[in-house]
Amino acid sequence: MEQAIDQLLARPGIWRASETARHTGARGEHIPTGFSVLDTALPGGGFPSGALTEILHDSHGMGELRLAMPALARLSRGGRWIAMIAPPHIPYAPALSARGMDLSRVLVVHPTSEQQSRWALEQALRAGTCAAVLAWPEHCDDRSLRRFQLAAETGNSLGLLFRNSLAAGQHSPAALRLRIDSDNGQRWGFGC
């Protein structure tokens, strides 16, 4: 019986949370965040490509998008889309442009329900046409998170989920989880 279980666990399609190799992204590639101190602290030196990264925060608008801007600007100039699924605020184009984003490669999707948001997120990750897909889901169960992770691997997309800090207590297949703390919006603190 143990031999059968070992054979099953050896299959490449089986994911185990304790396997750090899987936490390096689908192809082992990383995208520098643009913050050298953070890149030094992260395994692989940046956001894992072809995987989910969760950015946990206490409230929207505390600079959580600013954390990803250098990487997103670089990715937007690579010819693939940057998709934003159900952002809590309308992205301010002049600010994105000032941070180096190629606005012609930014796609903003405004689904009318949480179910449509999850569907759009999964499709954008899986399609292979998006370098990065950003989403602000209100609720994510284990099954949805796993589907998003598999879709990011399939499409070799950087999946960035901006979630409430309360999600830290929930299990997640995300390759990387960062928590942002703000001191009156003046500086950040990161926790992995």
* Phi-psi sector, 116: left (phi>0), alpha (psi -120 to 50), beta: alpha
3-state helix, strand, coil in the chain (%, to 5): 40, 25, 35
82-107 pLDDT, tens digit each: 999 999 988 999 999 999 999 999 99
pLDDT, position 14: 54
Which tokens go with 9?
A: 């666990």
Which residues is 83 bridged to in the sheet? 107, 133
- Alpha-carbon distance 123 to 155, whole Å? 9
pTM: 0.81
Q: Is the pLDDT of residue 160 over 50?
A: yes
31-89 pLDDT, tens digit each: 999 999 999 999 899 999 999 999 998 877 666 788 899 999 999 999 999 999 999 98
- Alpha-carbon distance 152 to 123, whole Å? 9
In the chain the domains, ranked by start, together with CATH numbers, are 29-191 (3.40.50.300)
pLDDT, position 39: 92
Cβ atoms of residues 21 and 46 within 8 Å:
no
How many residues are given for the chain?
192
Of 63-72, 130-139, 148-157, the range with the lowest mean pLDDT is: 63-72
